[in-house]
């Protein structure tokens, strides 16, 4: 549209309608009849790590998981899976009850 910042009023005046051609591809149809395609992404771009942030992350103490904790977590997950998810029909036992 040739403008440095978004202007909603100018956009509504110039763009007649927008068509989604395929995933991540839009086709703008302008009031004067010409069309333009534009790609878009919904993936959010995260800022890069600064040297300061990386140093702070590396300086943090590492979490230690001891064997007893590991076994307890494993048994807990096995119990959850037995109760809710992995049975012969792929449904939770709760949903099978009448």
Q: Specify if 29 maps to a domain.
A: yes
Q: What parts of the chain have a pLDDT lower than 70? A: 1, 85-98
Query: In this predicted structure, what is the pLDDT of residue 89?
Result: 58
Query: In this predicted structure, what is the pLDDT of residue 50?
Result: 93
Q: Specify if 55 maps to a domain.
A: no
What is the total count of domains within the chain? 1
The DSSP result for 24-75, as a single string, is TEEEEEETTS-EEEEE---PPPPPPPPHHHHHHHHHSPPP---HHHHHHHHH
- Give the pTM: 0.42
Coil/strand/helix, residue 19: strand
Query: In this predicted structure, what is the pLDDT of residue 98?
Result: 47
What's 9's DSSP letter? H
Q: Specify if 76 maps to a domain.
A: no
pLDDT in tens, 24-52: 899 999 999 999 999 888 887 888 889 99
Q: Specify if 44 maps to a domain.
A: no
């Amino acid at each position: 549209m040739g403008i440095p910042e978004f202007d909603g009023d100018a956009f509504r005046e110039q763009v007649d309608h927008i068509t989604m051609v395929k995933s991540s591809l839009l086709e703008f149809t302008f009031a004067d009849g010409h069309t333009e395609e534009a790609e878009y992404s919904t993936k959010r771009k995260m800022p890069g790590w600064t040297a300061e942030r990386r140093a702070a992350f590396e300086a943090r103490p590492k979490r230690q998981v001891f064997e007893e904790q590991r076994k307890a977590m494993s048994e807990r997950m096995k119990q959850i899976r037995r109760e809710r998810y992995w049975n012969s029909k792929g449904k939770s036992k709760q949903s099978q009850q009448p």
